[in-house]
Structure 1
Amino acid sequence: MGDGRSGLFIQVKGTIKKLNYAAVKEVLSSLKRFLIGRPLKSTQLGEQKLNKTKALAILSSDALSSVAYGPEQILIVLMTVGAAAFWYSIPIAIGVLVLLLALILSYRQIIFAYPHGGGAYVVSKKNLGMFSGLVAGGSLLVDYILTVAVSVSAGTDAITSAFPSLHPYNVPIAILFVLFITTLNLRGVTESASILAYPVYLFVFALVLLIGVGLFKILTGQVSPELHTAIGTPVAGIGLFLILKAFASGSSALTGVEAISNAIPNFKQPSPNNAAKTLIAMGSLLAVLLSGIVFLAYYYGISPRVEVTVVSDIAEQVFGRHFMYYFIQGTTALILILAANTGYSAFPLLAVNLAKDKFIPRMFTIRGDRLGYSNGIISLGLLSILLILAFEGRTDQLIPLYAVGVFIPFTLSQTGMMVKWLREKPTGWVPKFIINTTGALISLIVSLMFFLTKFGQVWPILVFLPLILLFFYRIRKHYEAVADQLRTTTCEPSIPIEGNVIIVPVAGITHVVENSLNYAKSLSAHQIIAVHIPFEREEEAIFEEKWSKWQPDVRLVTLHSPYRSLIEPLTKFIDTVQRKAGEANYQVTVIIPQFIPKKAWHNILHNQSSLLLRAHLLYRRDVIVTTVPYHLKK
C-alpha cells in the first residue's frame, strides 16, 4: 500500500514538474514574441534590406550626432590657454573638414572595390595581410562597443543638461536606453530603421534651424561682436602641438563615417550605388552641421562647461530657455542615444566576417528569429553596459578611447587602398591613390596625436588590442584543429563497431557522424534513418548527392526548416516514425552525434545543438535517446 502511494506521489510530482516547465516555457515564448515579434522565414531576407532614406538614418546617426560633442572637444583643448584662443576653432574645423572629404572619397572607393562589405577589416586583410586586418577588425569591434557607450552617455548628458535634477541618475538612465535599443534591433533592421528615421531627420531639421536662426541674428547685428576674439588675434601660449591636439580632439566628430562601407549588404540592390549615394549625403550633412556649430560657438563666445553641453549653451543664447531650447535639447538627446544604432548595424556584420574567417565564435554567423544576427546584437548590448558601468557614464573619459579606436582602422584602410592601387594600377588610379594617401597621412597624424596628448586616457587600447589579437588566434587555432580531426579525408581511421528503428540527426559529413553511424549499424537495427535539416533549399540537393556517394546504404531524409529550427521538424518526424514503428512493435532510438573538445572552455566556441536536442528529447515517451561522443585530441 505504501509502495503504491509512493509511486502515485512520484507520478503526480513528475506531472507537476512538467506542467510548470511547460507554463514557464510558454510565458517566456510569449514575452519573446511581444518584445521582438514573430519569426521570419529565411526567404523574407530581401524584405529586410534598407533603402537610401532609411539607411541614411540608421547608418549616419553616429557620424551626425558627433557634431554635438566634436566641436566641444576642440574648445576644451583651446580652453587651456584661455578663451582668446577660441578663434583657432575655425581653422581647426576647416582641417577636420579636409579630413572628412578625404575619408568620404576614400570610403566611396572602398564601397565599389569591396561591394560585399567588411570595410577596414576586409581592405586591410586583402592588401596588408591578415595581421593588419585583425588589428583593424579588433579596433572596430572595440570601437562599436564604445559607439554605443559614448552615444548613450552623451545623450544622457544632454537630458541632464536640460533637467539637472536627473544628473545623479546618469548611469541607470544610460543602461535603460541600451536595453531599449538592443530590443529594438532584435526586432529587425527595417523595423528599427523605420522607428529611428524620424528622430534622426528631426535632429537634422532642429540643428539646421538653430544654425539658420543663429546666423540670421549675427547678420542682423543682434549678437555683440565683443563676445568673441577676432580671428588672427595673437594668443600667448598657443603652439603647433596644442593646435594638433585640438585637431585630433575635433576629429572625434568623424567617428562613424566608415559604418556605411561595413554595412553594404544591408542596402537594397544595387547595393554599392545606394551605399555610395548615402555616404555622400551623410558627408554633406555632417560638413554643414559641423561648420555651423563651430562657427556659432566661436561667434557667441561659448565656453565648455562640465554639466552643460556646447549645443545646449548655443540653443539657450539663440532661442532663450523656452520651447525651442527644449526642442533642440530633446532632438539632440534622441540622436545621441539613437546614434548607438550605428554600432548595432555595423558590429554584427563585422562579427560575421571575423566568424567566417574563424577568428571569433561561429554563433555570430547565425541569424535569429527576425533574420538579424541576434548573437552579435545581444553581445554588443551587454559589453556596452559593462563599459558604461566601468566609466560611470562619463563621456569625456570615453571619447578619446573611442576616437583612437576609429582612426587606427582609418589609417589601415587608407594604406590598404594605396597598396591596392599601386599593385593593380587600373585606369585613373593616380587621383585615387592621392586621395587615399592624403587620408592615410592625416589619419596617422590624428592617431599619433591621441597617443601623444591623451596617453593617460587611450593607453587601454594598447592593452586590449594585443589581448583581442591573442583571442582571435587562439580561436582560429582551435577551429583548425577541430576541422582537421573531423575531416573524413584525414589519415586517422575511424574505429569500426561490429554487430529497433534508429534515427541519426546529421549536420554534415564528418568523423563524428561516421562514428555514430558505425555504432547504429552494430545494433542490428531494422532500419537506420539519417535526418538532415537544411535551412536553405539549395543545400538539400548538394547534401543528398554527397550523402549518396558517402553512405549509399543508409537512408537519408532531409527536412527543410524555413524558420531555422532544428528541434521542431525533427520531433515531428520522430513522432511520425514512432507511430508507425509502434504498430510493428519496433523501438525508436535517436542516436545523437557529439564531439567533445579537449578543453572545457572550447565548448563556448561551438553551438551546443546536441545538448539542446538531447534535453528536449529526454521528455518524450517511447523514444530512447543516446549520445555517441567523439573525443577531440587537440
Structure 2
Amino acid sequence: MISRFKRFLIGRPMKSGELEGEKLSKLKALAVLSSDALSSVAYGTEQILLVLMAAGFAAVWYSIPISIAVLGLLFILILSYRQTIFAYPLGGGAYIVAKDNLGLSTGLLAGGSLLVDYILTVAVSSSAGTDAITSAFPSLHDHRVLIALTMIVFLTVMNLRGIGESASILAVPVYLFVVAIFVLILCGIIKVLTQGVHAHVPEIGSAVSNISLFLLLKAFSSGCSALTGVEAVSNAIPNFKKPAERNAAKTLIMMGSILGAMFIGISLLAYWYGIKPDAKETVVSQIADATFGRGILYYVIQGITALILFLAANTAYSAFPLLAYMLAKDKYMPHAFMVRGDRLGFSNGIIFLGVFSALLVILFHGNTENLIPLYAVGVFIPFTLSQLGMMIRWLKLRPSGWLVGFLINTIGMFTTLIITLIFISTKFGQIWMVFIFLPIVILGFFKIHQHYMNTADELRVNVQLDKPVAKGSTIVVPVAGVTRVVMQSLSYAKSLTDNVVAVYVGFDDEEIERMEKKWEEWNPGVRLIILRSSYRSIIRPLVRFIETVEWKNAETDHITVLIPQFITKHWWQNILHNQSSLLLRAYLINQKDVVIATVPYHLHR
C-alpha cells in the first residue's frame, strides 16, 4: 500500500542512464532557477517604501533613485556570477569560490549561509504567496500558515518527481507571471501618460526635512532583497544541458534583464500612483487595483503573483540539494545527501528542505516581514564572500583582461558588504539568531567531517598485514517458551553451528519448573540455560549471561545472539509483540561486540 502511494506521488523509478534527459534547457532553467529572483519584484519595491515612510510620504520619490541603484548592483552581480560560472563550471557558487580562494572555514561559512538562505527562500516565498492571496481575499488571513504549509508540501512532492517534470509543469506559471507584470507595467504607463501622475505625489528632487543618509542606505539595503536568488544559476550548473556553462551564463543574463525591467517598472508605477505600504494589501495589489480596478484582470494578476511567489521556492528546491551534495561529497554533510532517489533527484535534500522551511513558517506564523531580514542576510554574506574570492582569484591568476573582472568584483564586494553591515546594524533585533545558528551549522560541518575522518581511520585495512581470522561460532537464542518461532530459530542456529544454547529467564520457581519440564519433553537437541530474575527483568540477566559467554569465547568464537521476532499481518499488531527483543537488540548493538541476528516468523492472522 505504501509503495503504491509512493508511486502515485512521485512516479515510476528512473534508470541512471536517464539522467541526461533530466538536464534543463535554457527556457526551463530560466523558469526553475529564476523564479526566486523574478518573484522578488512583488516585494522588493515594497521593502524600500516601508523604510522611506519613516520620513513621511514626502520621501517616497527617493524610491526611484534607490531602485536605479539596486539595478546597478544587479548589473554588477550578473557580471560577477557570469565570471563565476566560467571559472567554476562544476557549480557550487559561493561555497566553491570561497573555499578555493579564501580557505576552508570561509567556504563553509558561505556554504552554510546559502543552505540557511535556501531554507528561508522556501519559507519567505510561501509566506509572500499567502500574503498575495489574503490581499485579494482578506477572509483567508487567519489561515495563512495552513496555506503556506500546503504549498510547501506540493512543491516538495513536485520536486521529488524529478527536476525535468517539475520544470515542465512549473515553467508555465513563471512565464505567465512575467507576461502579467509586463502587461501591468505597460497598462500602468499608458494610464499615467493619459491621466497624469497622482496629485499628491511629491516631485523628484523636492526637499525632505527629516531624511538622512542612514535612512536612504537602509532603504537601499531593504530594496536589495529583490536580488535574492541571483546566485542560484551559478550553484546549479550541473543541471543544465551541454554546454552547461554557456547555457547557464545565457540564462543568468536573461534573468537579470527581465528582473531589472520588472523591478524598475513596479517602482515607477508605485511612485506615480502614490502607493503607500499597507499591512493587509501588497504594493503590487494596490498598483493592479489602481490600473484595472477590482475586475477580472486584477484577480488574474493577484492569482498569478501569488502562484509565482509560491513557486519562487522552487529555485531553492533546485539549488539546495546540489549544494548539500557538494558539501556531503567533501564530507561536511551526511552522505545521505549524495544519494539520488527513484526520480534521479537528491531526494534527501529535497525532503530536508521542505521539513525545515515548514518549521520556519510555523515558528514565524507565516509573517513575511519577520522572515525577509533573515533571508537577505543569508544571501548577502555569500554574495560578499563570492566577490572577495573572485578578487583574490584574479590577483593570483592575472589572465588577459583580468583588471576589468577584478574591478567588477571589487565594486560588488564593497557594495554587498555595506548592505550586509546595514542589515546587521538596523535589523539586529530580527536577525540576531543568524549569529547563533550559523556558527552552530559550521560547527556541525566540522563535527561531521571529523567523524567521517575518524571512521575512515578506524576502518582502513592494511592489505599487506590485515587478513580475516577464522573463528568458530557460538549462538545464543533467547526463548520465551516452546513455540514455532523458537523451533524455527533453533533450526536456523543449528544449520550454522553445533554450539547453540537457548536461554530462558524465569521469575518464580513454578514458572521455571514448568519450562524445564516442557523443554525436556520437547528435547530439541539444544541445551537450555535457565536464568532466575528476582527483580522481574528479562534484559539484565540475559545481558549478564551474554557478557559471560563473550568473555569466555571471544578469542575463539564469534558470538551471535539470535533473536526470534514475530512479523504481524497488520502494522498495529506490532505494539502487542517484540518489546523485550527490541530492547535487547537496542542495548546489545550499542554496547557489545557481538553479532545480532533476527529470525522473523510471519503471522498470517
Specify the TM-score bucket, using the shorter chain as the normaliser. Answer: 0.7 to 0.9
Contact 2:42 2:305 in 1 (8 A): yes
Give the equivalent residue in structure 2 for 1:21: none
How far apart, CA to CA, are the structure 2 residues paired with 1:597 and 1:205?
62
Structure-2 change in CA distance of 1:600 and 1:410 (3 Å): farther
2:368 matches 1:395 = yes
Q: Out of 101, 104, 107, which is 1:127 matched to?
A: 101
Give the equivalent residue in structure 2 for 1:82: 56
1:262-292 residue CA offsets vs partner (Å, 9 max, x unmatched): 0000000000000000000000000000000
Deviation at 1:497, TM superposition (A): 2.8
Where do residues 52-67 of structure 1 align in structure 2 (5 Å cutoff)?
Answer: 52-67=26-41
How far apart, CA to CA, are the structure 2 residues paired with 1:450 and 1:456?
10
Letter in 1 for 2:425: L
Structure-2 change in CA distance of 1:227 and 1:213 (3 Å): farther
How far apart, CA to CA, are the structure 2 residues paired with 1:207 and 1:61?
14
Give the equivalent residue in structure 2 for 1:514: none
Structure-2 change in CA distance of 1:619 and 1:250 (3 Å): farther
Structure-2 change in CA distance of 1:258 and 1:492 (3 Å): farther
1:452-484 residue CA offsets vs partner (Å, 9 max, x unmatched): 111111111100011001111111000000011
Cα RMSD (Å): 2.3
Letter in 1 for 2:63: S
Q: Which runs of 4+ in 1 moved over 3 A?
A: 490-495, 596-601, 617-621
Contact 1:484 1:490 in 2 (8 A): no
Deviation at 1:216, TM superposition (A): 0.8
How far apart, CA to CA, are the structure 1 residues paired with 2:468 and 2:160?
45
2:132 matches 1:158 = yes
Contact 2:198 2:274 in 1 (8 A): no
2:118 matches 1:144 = yes
How far apart, CA to CA, are the structure 2 residues paired with 1:139 and 1:206?
33
Deviation at 1:486, TM superposition (A): 1.0
How far apart, CA to CA, are the structure 2 residues paired with 1:266 and 1:147?
20
2:228 matches 1:255 = yes
How far apart, CA to CA, are the structure 2 residues paired with 1:386 and 1:200?
26
Where do residues 413-452 of structure 1 align in structure 2 (5 Å cutoff)?
Answer: 413-452=386-425
Give the equivalent residue in structure 1 for 2:563: none
Contact 2:31 2:175 in 1 (8 A): yes
Deviation at 1:236, TM superposition (A): 1.3
2:155 matches 1:181 = yes
Give the equivalent residue in structure 2 for 1:351: 324
Deviation at 1:487, TM superposition (A): 1.2
Structure-2 change in CA distance of 1:269 and 1:157 (3 Å): same
How far apart, CA to CA, are the structure 2 residues paired with 1:598 and 1:489?
29
Contact 2:14 2:342 in 1 (8 A): yes
Deviation at 1:597, TM superposition (A): 13
Give the equivalent residue in structure 2 for 1:485: 458
Give the equivalent residue in structure 2 for 1:411: 384
Structure-2 change in CA distance of 1:246 and 1:491 (3 Å): farther
Structure-2 change in CA distance of 1:478 and 1:327 (3 Å): same
Contact 1:223 1:300 in 2 (8 A): no
Deviation at 1:523, TM superposition (A): 7.9
Q: Is there any run of 5+ residues in structure 1 with no aligned partner, and where?
A: 1-26, 501-521, 525-595, 602-609, 622-634
Letter in 2 for 1:237: N
Q: Out of 255, 277, 284, which is 1:282 matched to?
A: 255
Deviation at 1:223, TM superposition (A): 3.3
Q: Out of 419, 437, 443, which is 1:464 matched to?
A: 437
Contact 2:40 2:225 in 1 (8 A): yes
1:402-448 residue CA offsets vs partner (Å, 9 max, x unmatched): 00000000000000000000001011110000011111010000000
Letter in 2 for 1:247: F
Structure-2 change in CA distance of 1:84 and 1:491 (3 Å): farther
Letter in 1 for 2:278: R
Q: Is there any run of 5+ residues in structure 2 with no aligned partner, and where?
A: 474-495, 499-585
Deviation at 1:491, TM superposition (A): 9.9
How far apart, CA to CA, are the structure 2 residues paired with 1:422 and 1:202?
44
How far apart, CA to CA, are the structure 1 residues paired with 2:174 and 2:358?
23
Contact 1:141 1:350 in 2 (8 A): yes
Give the equivalent residue in structure 1 for 2:17: 43
How far apart, CA to CA, are the structure 1 residues paired with 2:438 and 2:223?
24
Deviation at 1:389, TM superposition (A): 0.4
TM-score normalised by L of structure 2: 0.79
2:335 matches 1:362 = yes
Determine helix, strand or coil for the equivalent of 1:101: helix
Letter in 1 for 2:380: F
Q: Which has the larger radius of gyration?
A: 2
How far apart, CA to CA, are the structure 2 residues paired with 1:37 and 1:327?
31
Letter in 2 for 1:100: L
1:483-530 residue CA offsets vs partner (Å, 9 max, x unmatched): 111111399956723469xxxxxxxxxxxxxxxxxxxxx989xxxxxx
Determine helix, strand or coil for the equivalent of 2:167: helix
1:536-595 residue CA offsets vs partner (Å, 9 max, x unmatched): xxxxxxxxxxxxxxxxxxxxxxxxxxxxxxxxxxxxxxxxxxxxxxxxxxxxxxxxxxxx
1:122-158 residue CA offsets vs partner (Å, 9 max, x unmatched): 0000000000000000000000000000000000000
Structure-2 change in CA distance of 1:599 and 1:295 (3 Å): farther
Determine helix, strand or coil for the equivalent of 2:450: helix
Contact 1:227 1:299 in 2 (8 A): no
Determine helix, strand or coil for the equivalent of 2:269: helix
Deviation at 1:247, TM superposition (A): 0.4
Q: Out of 189, 201, 212, which is 1:215 matched to?
A: 189
Q: Out of 80, 94, 111, which is 2:68 matched to?
A: 94
How far apart, CA to CA, are the structure 2 residues paired with 1:182 and 1:80?
39
Contact 2:77 2:412 in 1 (8 A): yes
Letter in 1 for 2:121: T
Contact 2:82 2:249 in 1 (8 A): yes
Determine helix, strand or coil for the equivalent of 1:227: coil
2:208 matches 1:235 = yes
Q: Out of 218, 223, 244, which is 2:217 matched to?
A: 244
Deviation at 1:620, TM superposition (A): 9.4
Letter in 1 for 2:336: M
Letter in 2 for 1:346: A
Contact 2:89 2:237 in 1 (8 A): yes
Letter in 2 for 1:465: L
Structure-2 change in CA distance of 1:194 and 1:459 (3 Å): same
How far apart, CA to CA, are the structure 2 residues paired with 1:598 and 1:155?
51
Structure-2 change in CA distance of 1:378 and 1:296 (3 Å): same
How far apart, CA to CA, are the structure 1 residues paired with 2:146 and 2:99?
39
**Number of aligned pairs?**
491
TM-score normalised by L of structure 1: 0.75
Q: What is the percent sequence identity of the aligned residues?
A: 61
Give the equivalent residue in structure 1 for 2:546: none
Determine helix, strand or coil for the equivalent of 1:238: coil
Determine helix, strand or coil for the equivalent of 1:226: coil
Letter in 2 for 1:445: I
Letter in 2 for 1:298: Y
Q: Out of 54, 62, 71, which is 2:45 matched to?
A: 71
Letter in 2 for 1:105: L
Where do residues 412-561 of structure 1 align in structure 2 (5 Å cutoff)?
Answer: 412-489=385-462, 496-498=469-471
